[in-house]
Amino acid sequence: MNEKENEATKEFEKSLHYSGTEKYVLRLYVTGMTPKSINAIENIRKICEENLQGRYELEVIDIYQQPQYAKQEQILAAPTLIKKLPLPLRKFIGDMSNKEKILIGLNIVPKKDTKK
Mean pLDDT of residues grouped by 10 in the chain (116 residues)?
Answer: 65 52 94 96 97 95 95 94 95 95 89 54
Question: pTM of the full predicted structure?
Answer: 0.76
pLDDT recorded at residue 21: 75
Q: Is residue 41 part of a domain?
A: yes
- 5 falls within a domain: no
- Within-domain flag for 114: no
Q: What contacts 44, CB < 8 A, 6 or more positions away?
A: 26, 28, 58, 81, 96, 102
Q: CATH code at 43? A: 3.40.30.10
3-state secondary structure 73-92: HCCCCCCEEEEEECCCCEEE
Cα–Cα distance for residue pair 62/67, rounded to 1 Å: 8
Task: Please report the pLDDT score of residue 97 as a whole number.
Answer: 96
Residue among 95, 10, 111 nearest 45 (CA): 95
Domain count, the chain: 1
Contact assessment for residue 44 and residue 96, using Cβ atoms and an 8 Å cutoff: yes
For 33, the domain range is 24-105
